[in-house]
Amino acid sequence: MLSKQEIVAFSISPLAVKWLVGTVGIAALPIILRLMVWGIAPSPYLPGFSLISITDFFLFSLIIYLSVLMEAKHIKCLGEEKNTISYVCIFLIILVSIFLTFAFINDAKGIMRHWVLLGASLFMALFSFIVGFCFFYFFSVKLAESGQEEMS
């Protein structure tokens, strides 16, 4: 059985929920808009318009990592962790940018295996969501420990 302290340690902070609603909502906007257009517009008027776009999922990942990077720079109580988080985010941003370039080339020329890029984009989007949520949970714990009110 978990103690009350362990349950509190695993609870989601208001900052993490704010991040979830704000950042993930903005990052998912291209995906949501694509679904809305696909659902509203009749197919004959949008020839070649697909329900799923690989670039939308890579953009989702890119926005998540940029958000983590920007928030890490604004938290005063992070010491060496700030550099580590920055390096990890920059590496992941470069990785997503490379995949995004492949997706743009594939959209223009159709020379790559579509299902491989789609699988990579879905995996990267899920991975970036989990990594981003973990970072923001870590940020909120650090803020609570230091007594800093919010991310500035």
CA–CA separation, 70 and 78 (whole Å)? 13
Which residue type does 45 have?
A: Y
> Do 100 and 55 form a contact (C-beta atoms < 8 A)?
yes
Residues found in the chain: 152
pLDDT at residue 136, as a whole number:
83
Short-list 46, 61, 129, CA closest to 91: 61
Question: For the segment 40-50, what is each residue's pLDDT rounded down to a tens digit?
Answer: 887 777 777 78
Query: Over the chain (152 residues), what is each successive 10-residue block's mean pLDDT?
Result: 50 69 90 89 75 89 91 80 88 92 83 85 93 84 70 51
CA–CA separation, 57 and 131 (whole Å)? 15
Which residue type does 33 have?
A: L
Question: For the segment 105-130, what is each residue's pLDDT rounded down to a tens digit?
Answer: 887 777 778 888 889 999 999 999 99
Number of H helices, E strands in the chain: 6, 0
pLDDT at residue 151, as a whole number:
54
pLDDT at residue 92, as a whole number:
92
